[in-house]
Amino acid sequence: MAKPESKAEFFYNEKGLIVVASPVKLQILNLLKEEPRSFDEIVTFTEKAKSTISVHLNNLRTSELVEEYFDPKDRRRKIYSLTSHYMGRSQEPFVEHYRSLLEKAPASGNDRTFFAEILSHALYFGFEAYGIDNAPIVKTIGNDLGRSIIPIFESETPDELLREIGDFLEFHGNCRVSVIADPPALQIEDDFKASSIPVIGKPFCALREGIIEGILKGKLEMDYKVAETECYGTGHEHCLFKITL
């Protein structure tokens, strides 16, 4: 399935959820997701007039989506950085996966594990069916969950912690986890996902991705990034979560 065209994107700050639909504002925000940028860099990237960019930046500052400060190495140079969190986007509704999952729901019968997985997948495909890509906010929630369960982990080194995370995921996820050393990654095999998830052309497990990242960041107090690069949703027979620092 081709990636749907985005119509609006959702950002979160202390005021709550803010919807941004302006193409130029989205250009600016998506640039600042990478790293702080100078005013001139933003103008070059967007290919818009300085006056236009100035108006948009002032509006984004008023909404508390970005902040402005002077470059400590050159006080004449203004730097802009993101002060909000990307939460998702609107998209064209895609109902095929959702309908397919609903058709399988009656087969859950009295199987609690099966029905719990059906519920989880229904939320993902349900948002997609109603026109919302919620993967970013699901990963953020996963991060929150990961940080909240840090006290149950005892390991103090990355290698030991990955093994402990693997054991945790196996116990709670009814799956098989392999720890890969170089480059560091977790490979997860899940019989239910293998039989129930259609090939959707993109990774599916944003919640699990966030949980792993939250545990690593919170326990080791370092800026780890976890990205699912292979998934049942991409046609693989496992989920692969690559870990970078």
| pLDDT score recorded for residue 131 | 94
> What is the CB neighbour count within 10 angstroms for residue 171?
10
| pLDDT score recorded for residue 233 | 87
At the topology level of CATH, where does 134-244 sit? Answer: Muramoyl-pentapeptide Carboxypeptidase; domain 2 (3.30.1380)
What CATH number was assigned to the domain covering residues 9-87? Answer: 1.10.10.10
How far CA 106 is from CA of 21, 70, 116, 190, in Å, comes to 39, 60, 13, 21
- Residues in the chain predicted with pLDDT less than 50, given as ranges, are 1-4
**Residue 63 in contact with residue 9, Cβ under 8 Å?**
no
| pLDDT score recorded for residue 1 | 35
| pLDDT score recorded for residue 164 | 97
| pLDDT score recorded for residue 6 | 54
Task: Give the start-to-end residue ranges of the domains of the chain.
Answer: 9-87, 134-244
